Amino acid sequence: MWGGRFAEGPAAVMREINASIPFDKRLWQQDIAGSRAHVAMLGAQGIVSPADAAAIAQGLNDVAAEYEANGVAENLALEDIHMATEARLAELIGPTAGRLHTARSRNDQVATDFRLWVRDAVDQVDLGLAAFQRALVGRADEHAASVMPGFTHLQVAQPVTLGHHLMAYYEMVRRDRSRFAAARGRLNECPLGSAALAGTGFPIDRFATAEALGFDRPTANSLDAVSDRDFALDYLMAAAQAALHLSRLAEEIIIWASQPYGFVRLPDAYSTGSSIMPQKRNPDAAELVRGHSGRITGCLMALMMTMKGLPLAYSKDMQNDKPPVFEAHDLLALSIAAMTGMIETIAFVPERMRAAAEAGFSTATDLADWLVREGGIPFREAHHITGAAVKRAEADGIALAALSDAALNTIDPRLDGRVRAALTVDASVASRQSHGGTAPARVRGAIAEAKQQLGLA
């Protein structure tokens, strides 16, 4: 490729460091699609003859069939998927293949291919996240009224329902999907025709190629088009956030599956044993999902550092844009599938959850609220009185609801036996009727709305 300018070939190490075919061969379908659109436009514009355009189009179909059947050969001398495809095309149809690269550069070619790949990746992730949402909603529906402890600082705080807890992750995933959708909307502009950096003098029709490839429009500035990797960073940012959400749920499953909690029983399909301890059931799938979040976030950091300070337009640094995106996508897709499978098959243990909710003075706030409602006192004063009641119950080794009338009256004259009705975990969750609250009726309403959003209603 460089014979007209260079008298000698590259050093072996230069050939190795310069070649991207080992990883960018993954773009072959997008590269073929972009080339098909480009040659069709060249033919329609009279830039190449109809016969040459037809020969190139048929040759591209033949190359694609070979790739589909046998994969892409890794010839480092051809550097990348673009040259590999063009070289094979030339072997099949002869010198006419050289006309394909008219009015384009590898700079706008790779920018187009990569956008097409990331767009496909977004669509795949969205399908996976939608399936994960369906799994969450299905299990939340089963447990809309199952009481469990809600935690702050990993300390028992107030009773909630398991359905409410699972629907919290539904909301996280809803935001994840919106981030991917926004990223897709921004990336859906076509760089093809920007050439190396300045556009081209040939009478091309960039709107035609953009439409043929499913883009909304061509990019507006040729310099920006070939040097922009915002779309890849957008994808990685959305992927990192989604991975963090998956990691949070994975961590909770790990905690819940431990013997001190016993909130869940892990399915065989998503756990492993120990090589030395026969009794062990390890939450390895959840732990790996938790670990993947670090690698995915690292991919984001890697590309951000690669792009930092690059002058316009294209620099070879940008050849390193694809490996972190490919790695993050593979890890995220695997993590989503694993978490979906775990949520679908995990066995919840509601009786253990209820016992934990009942054991940690989780209805103390309900006592304070009762004093505000029934005694008409300020909440801060009610908070102080409730603290004294908790202290007394803790000292006696009993639950708040087990305090005698005399003990309640000693703590504060405005406390009497009527408060006990407010101190059960069922009464507590049922009272949380505010919008977005944990009351089973509210949870069922949220589930119904989610089903409608997912097309399940």
**Does residue 183 have a cis peptide bond before it, meaning omega lies within 30 degrees of 0?**
no
313-316 long-range contacts, Cβ below 8 Å, gap at least 24?
A: 313/107, 313/196, 313/197, 313/223, 313/226, 313/227, 314/107, 314/196, 314/197, 314/226, 314/227, 315/227, 316/18
Residue 365 sits at φ, ψ, to 5 deg, of: -65, -30
Q: How far apart are CA 443 and CA 222, in angstroms?
A: 51
Residue 82 falls in the annotated catalytic set: no
Q: Give yes or no for a contact between 38 and 100, defined as CB atoms under 8 angstroms apart.
A: yes
> Which string of DSSP letters, residue by residue, matches 166-231?
HHHHHHHHHHHHHHHHHHHHHH-EE-TT-TTTT--SS---HHHHHHHTT-SEE-S-HHHHHH--HH
Q: Which residues are bridge partners to 218 per DSSP?
A: 190
Residue 354 sits at φ, ψ, to 5 deg, of: -60, -45
* Start-to-end CA span in the chain (Å): 59
Catalytic residue among 258, 274, 315, 404: 274
Q: Give yes or no for a contact between 179 and 237, defined as CB atoms under 8 angstroms apart.
A: yes
Residue 153 falls in the annotated catalytic set: yes
Q: How far apart are CA 346 and CA 348, in angstroms?
A: 6
Neighbour count for residue 107 (Cβ, 10 Å)? 20
Catalytic residue among 153, 275, 434, 435: 153
Q: Give yes or no for a contact between 184 and 178, defined as CB atoms under 8 angstroms apart.
A: no
Q: 1, 65, 77, 70: which is closest to 29 by C-alpha?
A: 65
Q: How far apart are CA 343 and CA 76, in angstroms?
A: 44
Q: How far apart are CA 448 and CA 167, in angstroms?
A: 11
Q: Which residues are catalytic?
A: 153, 274
